């Protein structure tokens, strides 16, 4: 797997951050079992088609490969789990575009319900390669960001449906 260098002073490093959230009728433990199994992302994410986690188990430092799609376009990404706090948060950094995707769990109603906060953070900005490809293939970073925001909400709605079924 390759590693991309990241700038330490990206001027737009927070401009493209995204956030979505939802409340679910499930405990943090039940919710954690679902969100921390990254191999299941294709069940919920409108963009992810396959997720491969070598070794199967997800934990700190785990690596994964996603096969993403939009219409006829398909592309792989590589990621590494960078935060793993059981029953609280899981986050992974995508090598190609430098984004950090996370799910944070907040207990509600004495732990009988949970708020899931889904974020895409850009602490190092978005890689120039990704910006260029996004402009050519997806209409630019702002337009694709809107699409990603909608996809994040759909992901959470599908997770809630699974948890509450």
Q: What is the pLDDT of residues 27-75, one digit of tens each?
A: 999 999 999 999 999 999 999 999 999 988 899 999 999 999 999 999 9
Angle at 141 between CA 66 and CA 120, to 5 degrees: 50
Q: Is residue 1 part of a domain?
A: no
Q: Is residue 9 part of a domain?
A: no
Q: Is residue 3 part of a domain?
A: no
Report the number of distinct structural domains present in the chain: 1
Spatial contact of 80 and 100, defined as CB atoms under 8 Å apart: no
Alpha-carbon distance of 157 to 159, in angstroms, equals: 5
Q: Is residue 2 part of a domain?
A: no
Residue 69 CB partners (closer than 8 Å, separation 6+): 47, 49, 75
Report the CATH number that the domain containing residue 103 is assigned in CATH. Answer: 3.30.530.20
**pTM across the whole model:** 0.88
For residue 157, what pLDDT band results from cuts at 50, 70 and 90? very high
Residue 53's domain spans which residues?
18-164
Q: Is residue 144 part of a domain?
A: yes
Q: Is residue 35 part of a domain?
A: yes
Alpha-carbon distance of 28 to 15, in angstroms, equals: 30
Spatial contact of 141 and 16, defined as CB atoms under 8 Å apart: yes
What average pLDDT does range 123-137 have in this prediction?
Answer: 89
For residue 2, what pLDDT band results from cuts at 50, 70 and 90? very low
Query: What mean pLDDT is reported for the chain?
Result: 90
Residue 139 CB partners (closer than 8 Å, separation 6+): none
Q: What is the pLDDT of residues 71-106, one digit of tens each?
A: 999 999 999 999 999 999 999 999 999 999 999 999
Spatial contact of 98 and 78, defined as CB atoms under 8 Å apart: no
For residue 7, what pLDDT band results from cuts at 50, 70 and 90? very low
**pLDDT: which is higher, 125 or 161:** 161
For residue 3, what pLDDT band results from cuts at 50, 70 and 90? very low
Angle, in degrees to the nearest 10, between helices 128-138 and 141-164: 90
């Amino acid at each position: 797997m390759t590693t991309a260098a990241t700038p330490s002073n990206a001027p737009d490093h927070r401009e493209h951050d995204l956030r979505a959230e939802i409340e679910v009728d499930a405990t943090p433990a039940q919710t954690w079992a679902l969100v921390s199994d990254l191999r299941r992302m294709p069940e919920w994410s409108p963009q992810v088609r396959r997720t491969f986690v070598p070794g199967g188990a997800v934990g700190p430092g785990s690596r994964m490969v996603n096969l993403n799609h939009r219409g006829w376009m398909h592309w792989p990404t590589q990621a590494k789990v960078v935060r793993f706090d059981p029953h609280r948060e899981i986050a992974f950094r995508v090598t190609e575009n430098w984004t950090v995707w996370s799910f944070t769990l907040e207990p509600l109603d004495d732990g009988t319900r949970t708020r899931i906060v889904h974020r895409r953070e850009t602490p190092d900005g978005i890689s120039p390669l990704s910006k260029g490809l996004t402009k050519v293939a997806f209409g630019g970073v702002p337009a694709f960001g809107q699409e990603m925001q909608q996809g994040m909400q759909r992901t959470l709605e599908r997770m809630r449906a699974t948890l509450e079924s």
